[in-house]
Every structure is written in C-alpha cells, then in structure tokens.
Amino acid sequence: MYSLNYEDFIEERKARSDQTSKYDKLKKFEASFTLQTPNADLPELEKNEDLKEKRLRWEESLIKDIYLYEAVRVLEDLAQPQNKTNKLAQIKK
C-alpha cells in the first residue's frame, strides 16, 4: 500500500531505500577461501573451452555465496580438535 499524499510517499520511499542500503555490502562479499578444480576434471576442461568458462563462472558465484562461506566455517570449527576445557558438557562419574 502506498500513500496518495506525495510527501508521505517520498518519505516512505526514502525510508525503504535507507533500510535496503545497509545490505549493499553483501553484494560485494567475497569469501576468503579458494576453490580448486579436481584433477580428474582438468583434462575435460582443457578440451572444452565452453565447459571451462562455465566452470569459472560457477566458481566465481561460489566465492560470493555467503551461505557456503558460513557452512565452510562451521565445518572448520567441527574439524578442529576440542580441548577438555572447551567441552559443552562433561559426563560426571
């Protein structure tokens, strides 16, 4: 719903614009990890330029995927050995 009053309409539009502008930095997000093509795929990529270009575009989109970045960070946390003082729960004997 939009106000028919021009001034109110302009104020609402500016408020929405201000609200959405705080998410602009997500468009520029790039993960800090690198992707590596499996060795089994390399011969096929060398033969087919279209497939190589498609793979590069796919990897670029993965680098900008914030959900993938967070999933990798969670897996890294799970893979690290926990020390005894860092346990969430301990069994009492």
- Residues 32-89 pLDDT 10s: 888 888 899 899 999 999 999 999 999 989 999 999 999 988 998 888 876 555 544 4
61 within domain boundaries = yes
For residues 46 and 41, give the distance between their C-alpha atoms in angstroms, rounded to a whole number.
9
What is the pLDDT at residue 82?
67
92 within domain boundaries = no
What is the pLDDT at residue 91?
45
Domain that holds residue 48: 6-78
> Is the CB of residue 68 less than 8 Å from the CB of residue 62?
yes
How many domains does the structure of the chain reveal? 1
For range 14-33, the mean pLDDT: 88
87 within domain boundaries = no
For range 12-16, the mean pLDDT: 94
User: Is the confidence at residue 2, as pLDDT, over 50?
Assistant: yes
